């Protein structure tokens, strides 16, 4: 397939220079790059683009008009059309990804679009998975008539929602959370003509502040320097003074028959938590005795002797209601939230950034033998495999910023309602980073197989009906998981 990229440019010379740089870095170059300009200062094209200067189409609502004129004048020659906005960031494999995705669909895009205001240092993601922002949308020729209709319908610049809603061809919004990496970031408030939309405003009531530029660097890597040079230089995390005290932290641990790992979980959380509550789902081993001896609160969690992920979801959403703590952590007994930059420093930074929910970086820890240390478990077992998909969970909550939170089954994703009624969906690992160390695969593989079999025997009817949890023989899953971990095993701490 041949690729046409189309850019509506308008009086942003600094952004335009960066845009050309991102295009030069593409692993798959476009066969045609159409630039539709209209600013007082024409964009300087250095890559042989097909340049059209329409001065009368300058101004904020010009996007739809420019695209309409390009289609009506039959300028688009490629088999696929990629919208390439001049002030946004695109990963080097973006066009290659578009081409591959459009071999199956007529309309594709990257969802959960994230906007970053580089001047005022704040960001938010829309959480949209029903459509993609225009800056992250591409299509085949078959979808172009729909795009034209929506441009003709109105010169309103927000074409994206109408395009996705009214296109009846096969289409797909891809979730960057599933891959763990974003391919596009909407950059706002670059020097030059101010864009339209709240993303360019000085303040945004539902955005998350990023005064130190840590989120920008997480998103763009070294490319973050392309933007911070226009405004004040970000402060590196290592220069932030170490707070003397840890904010009040309340930890809620869900457990059932976890006598092996529970002493280590309690020992770890006691290093920074002001309150620990264990919700016991009917343990028949020494789990409860261990908790009582350690002096932590134990609450009965009535599961009817079954494993029911719906009950687990509700528990994690509500067990901390009414807390006075600054931070709440909700985790399973074999999940340890670890702060490589220090608990006090990291948690105070989260409060400074007003993060409603923190998504951790996930690791599945592994050892062929069980721990024997009387210290911290990660001092003895410090190897594992990265796993942001299943264990990069959003398990750290600022209860003073949200009205409620909704977890998916397994608590792998979260959707929080903020005090201002806006929605916040953590889709990328937060910074400063927190690790979620999952200590399940310890000891012989047969031990893990027995855990899976015991769980399967206790699955509720709802778990069985919905296919929640491993439904097959335990040894099969245990061996599969152990093989996957060993293939990526490395020193984590």
Higher pLDDT, 198 or 94: 94
Count of structural domains, the chain: 2
Query: What whole-number percentage of the chain has pLDDT above 90?
Result: 63
Domain membership of residue 211 (yes or no) is yes
What local confidence, expressed as pLDDT, does residue 204 receive?
Answer: 62
Assess whether 215 and 157 both reside in one domain: yes
Q: Look at residue 23 and tell me whether its pLDDT is greater than 80.
A: yes
Integer CA distances (angstroms), 456 to 75, 307, 450, 461, in order: 60, 8, 10, 11
- Same domain? For 74 and 221 the reply is yes
Mean pLDDT of 444-462: 94
Residue 244 placed within a domain: no
Q: Cα–Cα distance between 455 and 464 in angstroms, integer? A: 11
Report the DSSP pairing between strands 275-280 and 249-255: parallel
Whether residue 16 sits in one domain with residue 132: yes
Task: Provide mean pLDDT across the span 450-460.
Answer: 94
CA 16 to chain centre: 27
Give the model's confidence band at 342: pLDDT under 50 very low, under 70 low, under 90 confident, else very high: confident
Q: Are 486 and 342 found together in one domain? A: yes
pLDDT band, residue 242 (cuts 50/70/90):
very low
In a domain, 231, yes or no: yes
Say whether pLDDT at 404 is over 90: yes
Structural domain ending residue among the three candidates 206, 235, 264: 235
> Residue 243: inside a domain, yes or no?
no
Q: Looking at the structure, tell me whether residues 141 and 80 fall in a common domain.
A: yes
For the segment 308-341, what is each residue's pLDDT rounded down to a tens digit? 999 999 999 999 999 999 999 999 999 999 998 8
When pLDDT is averaged across residues 135-147 and rounded to a whole number, the result is 96
Per-residue exposure over 190-215, b if at least 16 CB sit within 10 Å of its own CB, e if not: bebbebeeebbeeebeebbbbebbbb
Q: Is residue 81 included in any domain, yes or no?
A: yes
Answer for the pair 109, 81: CB distance below 8 angstroms, yes or no.
no
Same domain, 217 and 324: no
What proportion of the chain, given as a percentage, has pLDDT over 70? 91
Instruction: Please name the residues in contact with 144: beta carbons below 8 A apart, sequence gap of 6 or more.
Output: 71, 76, 81
Residue whose C-alpha is closest to residue 8's, from 33, 25, 32, 27: 33
What mean pLDDT comes out for the span 470-485? 94
The verdict on residue 426 lying in a domain is: yes
Domain boundary among 200, 235, 270: 235
Is the same domain home to 115 and 206? yes
Confidence (pLDDT) at 55: 67
Same domain, 412 and 380: yes
Torsion, CA 151, CA 153, CA 157, CA 159, rounded to 10: -70
- The pLDDT of residue 419 is 87
Write down the pLDDT at residue 355.
87
Highest mean pLDDT among 33-47, 200-214, 320-334 belongs to 320-334
Mean pLDDT, the chain, integer: 88
Q: Which helix (H) or strand (E) holds 474?
A: helix 474-488
Residue 78 and residue 22 share a domain = yes
pLDDT above 60: residue 199 = no
What pLDDT sits at residue 195?
63
* For residue 250, pLDDT beyond 80: yes
So what's the pLDDT on residue 24?
95
Same domain, 256 and 218: no
Q: Is residue 240 part of a domain?
A: no
Q: State how far the alpha carbon of 175 is from the alpha carbons of 68, 109, 129, 184, 342, in Å.
A: 29, 9, 7, 12, 31
Sign of CA dihedral 238, 244, 245, 247: negative
Per-residue pLDDT at 198: 57
346 and 484 share one domain = yes
Strand, coil or helix: 97: helix
End position of a domain, from candidates 209, 235, 261: 235
Q: Can you read off the two tokens belonging to residue 475?
A: 């040894």
Confidence of residue 60 (pLDDT cuts 50, 70, 90): very low
pLDDT-based confidence at 237, cuts 50/70/90?
very low
Structure tokens at 37: 């300009």
Q: What is the pLDDT of residue 235?
A: 36
Average pLDDT over residues 224-236: 63
- For residues 230 and 270, membership in a common domain is answered with no
Which CATH number does the domain housing residue 351 bear?
A: 3.90.550
User: pLDDT band at residue 234, thresholds of 50, 70 and 90?
Assistant: very low
Q: What is the mean pLDDT of residues 143-155?
A: 86
Tokens read off for 64 = 């739809």
Contact 75, 34 (CB under 8 A): yes
Domain span at 472 = 249-491
Q: What is the pLDDT of residues 349-380, one digit of tens each?
A: 888 778 899 999 999 999 999 999 999 999 99
Whether 241 is covered by a domain: the verdict is no
Contacts of 234 (CB under 8 A, 6+ apart): 121, 211, 212, 213, 214, 216, 217, 224, 228
CATH of the domain at 224: 3.90.550.10
Name the residue with higher pLDDT: 315 or 43: 315
pLDDT band at 61 (very low <50, low <70, confident <90, very high): very low
Rounded distance, CA 161 to CA 176, Å?
19
Question: Among residues 382, 362, 273, 371, which one has the least CA distance to residue 323?
Answer: 273
Has residue 99 got a pLDDT over 90?
yes
Confidence tier at 206 by pLDDT (50, 70, 90): low
């Amino acid at each position: 397939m041949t690729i046409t990229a189309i850019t509506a440019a308008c009086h942003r010379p600094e952004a335009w220079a960066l845009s050309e740089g991102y295009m030069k870095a593409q692993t798959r170059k476009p066969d045609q790059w159409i630039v539709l300009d209209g600013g007082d200062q024409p964009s300087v094209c250095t890559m042989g683009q097909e340049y059209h200067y329409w001065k009368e189409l300058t101004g904020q609502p010009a996007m739809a008009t420019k695209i309409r004129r390009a289609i009506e004048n039959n300028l688009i020659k490629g088999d696929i059309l990629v919208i390439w906005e001049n002030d946004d960031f695109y990963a080097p494999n973006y066009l290659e990804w578009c081409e591959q995705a459009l071999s199956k669909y007529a309309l594709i895009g990257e969802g959960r679009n994230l906007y970053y205001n580089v001047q005022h240092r704040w960001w938010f993601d829309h959480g949209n998975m029903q459509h993609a922002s225009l800056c992250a949308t591409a299509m085949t020729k078959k979808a172009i008539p729909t795009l034209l209709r929506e441009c003709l319908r109105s010169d309103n610049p927000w074409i994206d929602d109408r395009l996705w809603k009214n296109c009846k061809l096969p289409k797909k919004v891809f979730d960057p959370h599933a891959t763990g990496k974003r391919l596009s970031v909407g950059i706002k408030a670059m020097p030059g003509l101010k864009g339209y939309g709240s993303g360019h405003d000085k303040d945004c009531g539902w955005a998350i502040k990023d005064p130190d530029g840590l989120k920008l660097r997480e998103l763009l890597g070294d490319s973050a320097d392309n933007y911070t040079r226009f405004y004040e230089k970000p402060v590196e995390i290592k220069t932030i003074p170490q707070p003397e005290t840890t904010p009040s932290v309340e930890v809620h641990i869900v457990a059932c028959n976890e006598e092996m790992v529970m002493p280590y979980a309690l020992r770890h959380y006691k290093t920074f938590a002001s309150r620990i509550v264990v919700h016991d789902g009917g343990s028949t081993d020494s789990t409860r005795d261990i908790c009582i001896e350690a002096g932590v609160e134990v609450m009965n969690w009535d599961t009817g002797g079954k494993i029911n992920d719906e009950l687990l979801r509700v528990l994690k959403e509500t067990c901390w209601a009414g807390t006075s703590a600054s931070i709440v952590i909700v985790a399973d007994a074999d999940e340890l939230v670890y702060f490589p930059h220090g608990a006090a420093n990291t948690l105070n930074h989260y409060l400074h950034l007003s993060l409603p929910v923190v998504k951790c970086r996930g690791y599945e820890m592994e050892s062929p033998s069980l721990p024997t240390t009387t210290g911290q478990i990660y001092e003895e077992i410090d190897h594992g495999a990265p796993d942001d998909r299943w264990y990069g969970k959003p398990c750290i909550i600022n209860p003073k910023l949200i009205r409620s939170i909704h977890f998916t089954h397994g608590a792998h994703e979260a959707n929080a309602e903020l005090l201002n009624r806006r929605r916040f969906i953590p889709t990328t690992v937060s910074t400063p980073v927190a690790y979620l160390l999952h200590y399940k695969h310890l000891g012989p593989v047969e031990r893990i197989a027995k855990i899976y079999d015991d769980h399967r025997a206790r699955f509720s009817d709802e778990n069985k009906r919905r296919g929640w949890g491993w439904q097959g023989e335990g040894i099969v899953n245990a061996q599969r998981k152990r093989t996957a971990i060993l293939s990526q095993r490395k020193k984590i701490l």
